[in-house]
Amino acid sequence: MKSTFKKLLPFAVVGVISGATTVGVQQYIGNDSNTADQSYFTSSKNASFVGMNTAAVGDDFVKAAKTTVPAVVTIKNYQTRSSSRASEQDLFDYFFGDPFGGRGQQRQKQQQQTPDNMPSGMGSGVIISPDGYIISNNHVVAGANKLEVVLSNKKSYIATLVGTDPNTDISLLKIEEKGLPFLNFANSDNIDVGQWVLAVGNPLGLNSTVTAGIISAKGRGIGILSGQGKASNPIESFIQTDAAINPGNSGGALVNVNGDLIGINSAISSTTGYYQGYGFAVPANLARKVVEDIKKFGIVQRGFLGVTSLDLSNDQQVAFYNRDKKANIKVGSGVYVTGFSKDSGAEDAGLKLGDVITKVDQMAITDFADLSISIGSKRPGDKVQVTYLRNGKETTTTVTLKDQNGGTSSRSKADLSVIEKIGAEFEPLNDRFKTEYGLNSGVVSKNVAEGGEMAKIGIVDDYIIIEINGKPVNSQKDVEKILDKYQGNVQVKFVDNYGRIYTKGFKMP
């Protein structure tokens, strides 16, 4: 069952979205938790290091380093430990194994004992404007009740979390300062494999570290965002680099030799949890679109193509699909349409089951990562030219992208439902559970969103919510009625999986 689930993950996605990310699992390397960040690791075969001769480009490296280092910051994540972290670690181990060679449980115990005045983890960030906006990874800031930003000159600030997007693993922070050094976004569509790059960040607690390498590949999907189980509609089209990236680099800068930002370092593929030659960065164009949405609307605007699909370049996916559906699809290039979501823009434009998408706006679509990134920079209401094959004949049609509700207009936080605002859904608690727990009321939390208000106070899936603002709740409608148009502090009384009762709160967004 687990094997079937994991194979289905990459193509059982309803729609392709604009915007992108993941809920990060905290990882800690070494005995000192303060030198670690909440980074991602995937299993891979042993990697070969790319040889380097920097004689011809040494001056360019120096220029890029001098430009980049002052604009890259350390981010310290402070949070209250709870039993929910153990379940997140278990999920990580299920998909990727224990990168600590059996030391994961011991490290969990150390993490839970972290004092409140010590950071739970550390990562990096990039200043993108002189007035203090900072871009980082979602998993670097996940679960924080306080975020401290330390500049390269050691000056420290408490940051405000402006917004996050688990589907692209991008977050936006703000510190109150002016005249800061910052990096410009480059057009990541123009990068080439083999191009020299620098990775700048704070790996293993080594502040302002610069490493050099090349772009090893583009449009790389490694399944980490969907594998973590937190991103509802993940977009993966990473820049792969052999510039050394280690825990602590997450959220740092990947720049070209001019010091322009081409990506946000996010993950490594490793059998040990340390650098083995494969690093991955979110492309700058995608990251920029996400932070622009967060600044302007407060949320990311996602335009859906509205298809479920099969990546024809993935022979394992194709083989599984053929066995499951008793089909005879051939491995090849492109994305095969297996279904449509409700109010699908693609279906409205004339696409049918069995069509093979080969281009979007003249960009070649060879695999699902290409399709993700081509839609990733778009918003609801945007029109795209989709080229597809049907019975060997090529056709192009115009598709109007829609949001998940079938709308074509941008939305702000004010337009969100109560459930969207607090980041959780709820199911009624049956009478048997009420009797066992001695409760007179309660709903069960479901689909708790990473970075949402419920998640921030320690609620995860299958916790029991007893009361909100002192009022008993027995259905999702009860929750919506209490919080609809409500402003101010929200008090939540809930029960965890061990039967312990907590009362915590948040300010209604």
Domain residue ranges of the chain, discontinuous segments joined by +: 63-81+88-96+117-297, 307-401, 418-507
Q: Are 412 and 465 in contact (CB under 8 A)?
A: no
Residue bearing tokens 């207009």:
409
Q: What CATH topology corresponds to 63-81+88-96+117-297?
A: Thrombin, subunit H (2.40.10)
DSSP single-letter state for residue 304: B
CA distance 208 to 211: 10
Can you give the pLDDT at residue 409?
87
Q: How many residues does the chain have?
A: 509
pLDDT of residue 58: 58
Q: How confident is the model at residue 221 (pLDDT cuts 50, 70, 90)?
A: confident
Annotated catalytic residues are 139, 169, 250
d(CA 307, CA 336): 10
Nearest one of 107, 44, 96, 89 to 271, comparing CA atoms: 44
DSSP string, 159-190: EEEEEEETBTTEEEEE-S-SS----PBP-GGG
CA distance 367 to 350: 21
Question: What is the Cα–Cα distance from 12 to 237, expressed in whole angstroms?
Answer: 17
Kindly state the tokens that stand for 414.
């004010």
Domain spanning 307-401: CATH superfamily:
PDZ domain (2.30.42.10)
Question: Rounded to two decimals, what is the model's pTM?
Answer: 0.74
Read off the pLDDT of residues 125-137 as tens digits, 9 standing for 90 and up.
999 999 999 999 9
Tell me, yes or no, if the two domains 307-401 and 418-507 fold the same way. Answer: yes
For residue 9, the model assigns a pLDDT of 41
- Determine the Cα–Cα distance for residues 359 and 362; give it in Å rounded to an integer: 5
Give the CATH fold of the 418-507 domain.
Answer: Pdz3 Domain (2.30.42)
Q: pLDDT tier at 270 (50, 70, 90 boundaries)? A: confident
201/123 Cα distance (integer angstroms) = 8
pLDDT band at 235 (very low <50, low <70, confident <90, very high): confident
- pLDDT(259) > 70: yes
Distance of CA 497 to the CA centre of its chain: 26
pLDDT tens track for 426-458: 999 988 888 887 888 999 999 888 778 898 899
Q: What is the mean pLDDT of residues 460-482?
A: 94
> Helix or strand or coil: residue 286?
helix
